[in-house]
Amino acid sequence: MKFKSIFNAISLSILIILIGCQSGNKPTNIRIAVSKEKSAKSIQNYSGWLERYNDNIEWFNMYPLGIDSALKLMETCDGVLITGGEDVFPGIYGKIEDTARCGSIDRYRDSLEFALIDAAIEYKMPLLGVCRGLQIINIALNGSLIIDIPSDYDTTVTHRQDDWQNCFHPVFPVDATHLNVITDGRQGKVASNHHQGIDVLGEGLQITAYAADSLPEAIEWDIRGEKAFMMAVQWHPERMDTLHHLSAPIAMEFLKEATIYQENK
């Protein structure tokens, strides 16, 4: 009798597992691929930003994995975040002669992020870019960058300064864009820290916000159609106030789209 009871208990456990598998149960955590975490502090900035709106997030740093392994892991994710950081190698967009005018460059990171962007577009996976993230998405779609705004762009707007924690300037969303809808079309000051910006706009993109000097500050698909959600901003929403209308809606929209992607797998 004792053996029979144990056998029945084991059988019941196996049955519960099988039913769970057959019922299509899916993980509740949203899985986000992060292109590069520069430090523990940087991931705290990004994770802290998104986790204000959903604390069921698993984070995967793609940078240490190697490109093939990163792409394999990405197949299990629900969204991709391309973070801020080094300048993109200008030879990729036809300005190799200006390399010396750039800051630090990471050629491996360039290759990794191009691969992640291409895969996100192929898989129709939600894609969010921040600062450098906007720049490399633009380049991936055959756009180019201004090498150095202070030298090459006539402006009185401060886009970067030594005291980067206190560098803010206004941006203005563009009418009839998705960014404009989720931010209620409200302009506002954003945290800024970049010396490069969009020169030639990438294919299939539209500019969705400008600084006061007409420098592009955000992009999305021109016509989304069957494409997945893609939004990229030149500013740093992860460094801004939790309730800021140019920060919170971007995080919430990305997470909403990642949740939909997960549910539709």
Residues with a known catalytic role: 131, 236, 238
Tell me if 140 sits within 8 A of 198, measured CB to CB: no
Q: Which neighbouring-strand residues pair with 30? A: 57
How many Cβ atoms are within 10 Å of 129's Cβ, its own excluded?
27
AA letter at 244: H
Tell me if 172 sits within 8 A of 210, measured CB to CB: yes
End-to-end CA separation in angstroms for the chain: 45
